[in-house]
A and B are shown apart, each in its own frame.
Chain A
Amino acid sequence: MSDGKPPVDSPEIRRLTPVIGPGHTFGSVTDKISSIVLTRPTSLGWYIGFLIAFSLMGMMTIAIGWLVIKGVGIWGINIPIGWGFAIVNFVWWIGIGHAGTLISAILFLLKQKWRTSINRFAEAMTLFAVACAGIFPLIHTGRPWMAFYMFPYPSTMGLWPQFRSPLIWDVFAVSTYGTVSLMFWFVGLIPDLATLRDRAVKKPLKIIYGMLSMGWRGSARHWHRYQSAYLLLAGLATPLVLSVHTVVSFDFAIAIVPGWHTTIFPPYFVAGAIYSGFAMVLTIAIPLRKVYGLEDFITMRHLDNMAKVMLATGLIVAYGYFFEFFMSSYSGNKFDVFLVQQRLHGPYAPFYYALILCNILTPQLLWSYKMRHNVTVLFIMSIVVNIGMWLERFVIVVISLTRDFVPSAWGRYSPTFWDWATFIGTIGMFVTLLFLFVRVLPAISIAEMRELVAETSEEKK
């Protein structure tokens, strides 16, 4: 395994790094996953982690409350740089959400078995990331209580939203994405909730899981319809993954600002989304398998594959950086050329170099088999990529706005305490939701794992 030979997808490799540890039966899989929710006592670590995350979420609530009272002026935004942390974080969170749908929908359509044990928490991650993302478009408006004007409803003013604005498309994209992700996640949960209902000992738990599983009996007819529905939802979610982040990229690409008005944005944003999303899945998966002893389910094969997807999308992102750079120089437009100089030599140049370091240089380690199989390296790298992808959005949003066409409108942007409090607070909210999710719902799809057990035992025969 570690003799330096290039690993190929052969029966040998599949034996060494399977998608599920050896010797598992339907019972053992079910025991293992449901025990996290039902029997395992809540650990002190869980309480401490939850408390910290929940406190950070409280800080976010205060920051948003103060924002509503005082106005958006408490942030560091100003007139040339009207979009700061709020939009940077919005795009970052939406991007993180995309890997969940990629794993659950696209890999499902491609019949990738290794998605089975990571799809559930990846989808949960999507939902929680979309929840965090959804806060920002709402609160970054000066008058968030008027946000309902962005929905097309028959108003007393006889007015409708401007359907040519990508910010209105954002409303539809994000709300549709959130809804479809929730449906997809919940449909996937139904058989598992039924398992929890049957395994629960306490009556209230039986009732709660019983209501959530909506009378699932697992008959052939149930399964037949379930699978059609799941396939349809996967088919619907796939174009959503691509279109939602495309719409988010339109927020910039539609504008005339140098550094924003680029036709490469839609695919390159989507690639970046999947890149950062997979990094976040790794950031979550690695501690999860360690803490709950899920090494048999989230095997090195999973981590290896995720690292490969990260590498592939990271290269697309690198291509994007290179071509942004190239096209700006090639265009002969003095504003575009100036933008390149700004990124390389301007006041925010360190951010650009940090971005190249985090997003392009570091992930090149993933070419190495050894690195992909070193959990510590993967964990650190996943965090580095998350930071890098945050920097990418910062560079796009802020550097492009600080110095554009008219030199008299050049400015600087520096975030205030409240910018940070809101951002860190959303991380707290994300972690809070994840902690609750891990505690009350099966983090790995039990039904699909059982299917996997059946398939792998058939393969052996």
Chain B
Amino acid sequence: MAQIFHRSTNFIARFSVFSALFLIGIALVAVLAVARSPYMTRQNITREQPVQFSHKHHVGDDGIDCRYCHTGVETSAVAGIPPTKTCMNCHSVLFNNASYLEPVRESYRSDKSIQWVKVHRLADFVYFNHSIHINKGVGCSTCHGQINQMPLVFQANTLLMQWCLDCHRNPEQVLRPKDQVFNMDWKAPDNQAEIGAELRKSYNLRTTAELTSCSTCHR
């Protein structure tokens, strides 16, 4: 009687057992990696805007302070996107014939808002407050990256909850003196751990337990 399985099935059997374990392992790692990848978080992707507004030009070249446009950032939960009127403070005179500024002028004439595309989008079940971070010594560049070098804004960080929690658990690593908050080029000094711990004390930051409790962000 002929055998059911040819000799070669020995190899197939062994190979399939090992490859199955291997594939399951790879699949698990892949799922976890994809969830953190820029593909899912949309990190480092510049978005098409109605007007190609360059932060690099306005902040980097012209040296405009962040708060000139984002007025609410020290006092409000929302930093705010400047209204067309802010643009027109200068652009009624500067480059007032430039074609790429036509949407701005059109918005000014027609009184219709420019439909800016939001790059840093948090889910509505997250209550994020800008002012508290600014007032406790967290600089713009810590979360938003070096905006002064971005021709078009992209999301520099993942905005994953894990990323938020990493900081709320160890705020010392990012705290800076309050006069450096809007300094885009600030770099953490070598003794950041020491300075951060002191700043944490002097800013009266809450305990890590309080900073990471659900109701801090999910209200």
Hey, which bits of chain A sit against chain B, CB under 8 A? 153-159, 197, 203, 206-207, 210, 214-215
Question: Could you tell me the dominant secondary structure of chain B's interface residues?
Answer: helix
Question: Does B160 lie within 8 Å of A156, measured CB to CB?
Answer: yes
Question: Does B32 lie within 8 Å of A153, measured CB to CB?
Answer: yes
Contact with A197, one of B4, B35, B162 (Cβ below 8 angstroms)? B4
Question: Does B4 lie within 8 Å of A156, measured CB to CB?
Answer: no
Q: Is B165 located at the chain interface by the 8 A CB criterion? A: yes
In the complex, how many angstroms separate the beta carbon of A245 from the nearest chain B beta carbon? 30
Question: Could you tell me the dominant secondary structure of chain A's interface residues?
Answer: loop
**28 CB-based A-B contacts, threshold 8 Å:** A153-B32, A154-B32, A155-B35, A155-B162, A156-B35, A156-B36, A156-B158, A156-B160, A156-B161, A156-B162, A157-B160, A157-B161, A157-B162, A157-B165, A158-B161, A158-B162, A158-B165, A158-B166, A159-B161, A197-B4, A203-B4, A206-B4, A207-B4, A207-B5, A210-B4, A210-B5, A214-B13, A215-B13
Hey, which bits of chain B sit against chain A, CB under 8 A? 4-5, 13, 32, 35-36, 158, 160-162, 165-166
In the complex, how many angstroms separate the beta carbon of A200 from the nearest chain B beta carbon? 9
The distance in angstroms between the C-alpha atoms of A207 and B4, with both chains bound, is 7
Q: Find the residue from B4, B36, B158, B162 having the highest chain A CB count within 10 A.
A: B4
Contact partners of A158 in chain B: CB under 8 A: 161-162, 165-166
The distance in angstroms between the C-alpha atoms of A206 and B45, with both chains bound, is 56
The distance in angstroms between the C-alpha atoms of A214 and B14, with both chains bound, is 11
4 extra interface residue pairs, beta carbon distance < 8 Å, beyond A154-B32, A157-B160, A158-B162:
A153-B32, A206-B4, A207-B4, A215-B13
The distance in angstroms between the C-alpha atoms of A159 and B214, with both chains bound, is 11
Contact partners of A159 in chain B: CB under 8 A: 161
Contact partners of A215 in chain B: CB under 8 A: 13
The distance in angstroms between the C-alpha atoms of A150 and B162, with both chains bound, is 17
Contact partners of B32 in chain A: CB under 8 A: 153-154
Contact partners of A155 in chain B: CB under 8 A: 35, 162
The distance in angstroms between the C-alpha atoms of A66 and B166, with both chains bound, is 40
Q: Which residue of B lies closest to A158 (CB)?
A: B162
Q: Which residue of A lies closest to B169 (CB)?
A: A158
The distance in angstroms between the C-alpha atoms of A215 and B161, with both chains bound, is 50
Contact partners of B165 in chain A: CB under 8 A: 157-158
In the complex, how many angstroms separate the beta carbon of A197 from the nearest chain B beta carbon? 7
Contact partners of B166 in chain A: CB under 8 A: 158
Contact partners of B158 in chain A: CB under 8 A: 156
The distance in angstroms between the C-alpha atoms of A159 and B13, with both chains bound, is 39
Q: Which residue of A lies closest to B168 (CB)?
A: A158
The distance in angstroms between the C-alpha atoms of A203 and B161, with both chains bound, is 56
